C-alpha cells in the first residue's frame, strides 16, 4: 500500500554571517549610545533646571527678607504706646533719625560697628537703625514681648554665609545694661552667597532744596563726608550673587558686575545668579521732607 504521507526532508538551517552579526552589533551600539546621550542630556538639564530654580527661589527670599527690614530703617515714633519709655524718647528720636545708617564711631561702646565698603570687589557691611519689636535675629534683648525698642541690625558676609547680628541701641549708647544678648552671636540668613554689595542714595547737600529724592548713589566710604555736608540717605541699593543648589554647571565660570564694584568671577562652573534691588527708606525720606 502506497504511503500517502510523503516525507518532506527539512530545509537546510542557515545562520547569520559574520558581516550580518557585525552590522547588528553596530546598529545596537548606535541605538544604545543615542539612548545614553538622551539620558545624560536629560540628567544635565534636570540638574541645571534645579540649580536655576533654587537660585531664583533663594534670591527672591533673601531680597524680600532684606527689603522688609531695611525699608523700615529710620523709623521711630516716640508717641507709639508700645515703645519702651525707659529713656528720653525725644532725644532718642533725634539721635536715631540722624544715624539711620550707622557708621563706625557712632557708638562709643562698639566703635567698630558700622557700615563699611569692602576693598575692590570685597563684600560690604550694612548697619541700620530703627524702632522695632525685635532685632534681625528675632531676639527681644530683655524687653517684653509686646514692647518695641531701639534696634541696630548689622548685615555682613562671612565665608559664603549672609549673616545678621542685632543690638539694643540703648545699650550701645550706654543707657542700659545688656540683657539676653547671647553675646550678639550672628545668625545665618542665607548660604551659598558669593557677594554682598551695598550703595546709598543720598539727597542734595542743601536740605532746603531737596524733596527727599536721591540725587546720586555712593558707597560707604563716602558717607561720612556726605553727612558732614548735610546730605541724608533716603535709599539703599543691595546686590547679591547666589549659587543654586544641585549639580548643575555651565561651560566656564560666570562673571558678574555688581553696582560700582570690580568684576567678580565665580570660583567654579556652578550656576550663580545676581540679584539687585533698590529700597526706599520711606521714614528717612519723610523726615527729610518734614524738615524742608
56: left (phi over 0), alpha (psi -120 to 50) or beta: alpha
pLDDT at 15: 62
| Whether the predicted pLDDT of 10 surpasses 60 | no
Phi-psi sector, 70: left (phi>0), alpha (psi -120 to 50), beta: alpha
Q: What is the pLDDT of residues 221-240, one digit of tens each?
A: 999 999 999 899 999 999 99
Q: How far apart are CA 140 and CA 120, in angstroms?
A: 37
Q: For the chain, what is the domain count?
A: 1
Would you say residue 249 lies in a domain?
yes
Answer whether residue 173 is part of any domain. yes
SS3 34: helix
For residue 14, being part of any structural domain is answered with: no
This prediction's pTM:
0.83
> What 8-state DSSP symbol labels residue 217?
E
pLDDT digits (tens, 9 = 90+) for 241-287: 999 887 777 889 999 999 989 899 999 998 899 999 999 999 988 87
User: How does residue 53 score in pLDDT terms, banded at 50, 70 and 90?
Assistant: confident
* Most confidently modeled range among 10-24, 29-43, 243-257, 264-278: 264-278
* Element (DSSP H or E) covering residue 197: strand 193-202
CB 179 within 8 A of CB 141: yes
Structure confidence at residue 31 (pLDDT)? 72
Query: What is the rounded average pLDDT for all residues in the chain?
Result: 87
Q: What is the pLDDT of residues 121-175, one digit of tens each?
A: 899 999 999 999 999 999 999 999 999 999 999 999 999 999 999 999 999 999 9
Structural domain includes residue 107: yes
How far is the C-alpha of 239 from the C-alpha of 59, rounded, in Å?
Answer: 10
How far apart, in whole angstroms, are the C-alpha atoms of residue 273 and residue 240?
8
Is the residue at 151 inside a domain?
yes
pLDDT band at 119 (very low <50, low <70, confident <90, very high): confident
Give yes or no for residue 71 having a pLDDT over 80.
Answer: yes
Q: Domain for residue 258, yes or no?
A: yes
pLDDT recorded at residue 23: 73
> Could you tell me if 284 and 243 are in contact, meaning their C-beta atoms sit under 8 angstroms apart?
no
* 131 three-class SS: strand
CA-CA distance, 139 to 135, in Å (whole number)? 5
* Residue appearing with cell numbers 552667597: 193
User: Does residue 28 lie in a domain region?
Assistant: no
Rounded to a whole number of angstroms, the distance between the first and last alpha carbons of the chain is: 134
Question: Does 81 score more than 90 pLDDT?
Answer: yes
Find how far residue 155's CA is from the centre of its chain.
10
Domain that includes residue 241, residue range: 47-290
What confidence score (pLDDT) does residue 209 get?
A: 62
Q: What is the pLDDT of residue 22?
A: 76
Amino acid at each position: 500500500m502506497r504511503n500517502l504521507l510523503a516525507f518532506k526532508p527539512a530545509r537546510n538551517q542557515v545562520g547569520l554571517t559574520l558581516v550580518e552579526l557585525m552590522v547588528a552589533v553596530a546598529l545596537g551600539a548606535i541605538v544604545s549610545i543615542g539612548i545614553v546621550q538622551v539620558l545624560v542630556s536629560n540628567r544635565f538639564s534636570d540638574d541645571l533646571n534645579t540649580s536655576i530654580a533654587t537660585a531664583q527661589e533663594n534670591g527672591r527670599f533673601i531680597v524680600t527678607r532684606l527689603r522688609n527690614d531695611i525699608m523700615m530703617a529710620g523709623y521711630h515714633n516716640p508717641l507709639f504706646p508700645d515703645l519702651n519709655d525707659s529713656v528720653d524718647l525725644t532725644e532718642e528720636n533725634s539721635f536715631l533719625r540722624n544715624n539711620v545708617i550707622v557708621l563706625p564711631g557712632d557708638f562709643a561702646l562698639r566703635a567698630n560697628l558700622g557700615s563699611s565698603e569692602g576693598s575692590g570687589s570685597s563684600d560690604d557691611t550694612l548697619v541700620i537703625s530703627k524702632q522695632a519689636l525685635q532685632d534681625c535675629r528675632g531676639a527681644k534683648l530683655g524687653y517684653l514681648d509686646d514692647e518695641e525698642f531701639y534696634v541696630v541690625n548689622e548685615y555682613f558676609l562671612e565665608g559664603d554665609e549672609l549673616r545678621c547680628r542685632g543690638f539694643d541701641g540703648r545699650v550701645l549708647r550706654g543707657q542700659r545694661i545688656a540683657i539676653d544678648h547671647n553675646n550678639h552671636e550672628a545668625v545665618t540668613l542665607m548660604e551659598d552667597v558669593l557677594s554682598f554689595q551695598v550703595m546709598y542714595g543720598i539727597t542734595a547737600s542743601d536740605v532746603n532744596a531737596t524733596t527727599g529724592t536721591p540725587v546720586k548713589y555712593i558707597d560707604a566710604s563716602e558717607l561720612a563726608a556726605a553727612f558732614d555736608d548735610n546730605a541724608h540717605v533716603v535709599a539703599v541699593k543691595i546686590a547679591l550673587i547666589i549659587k543654586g543648589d544641585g549639580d548643575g554647571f555651565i561651560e566656564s565660570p560666570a562673571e558678574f558686575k555688581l553696582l560700582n564694584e570690580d568684576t567678580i568671577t565665580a570660583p567654579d562652573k556652578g550656576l550663580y545668579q545676581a540679584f539687585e534691588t533698590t529700597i526706599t527708606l520711606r521714614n528717612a525720606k519723610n523726615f527729610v521732607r518734614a524738615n524742608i
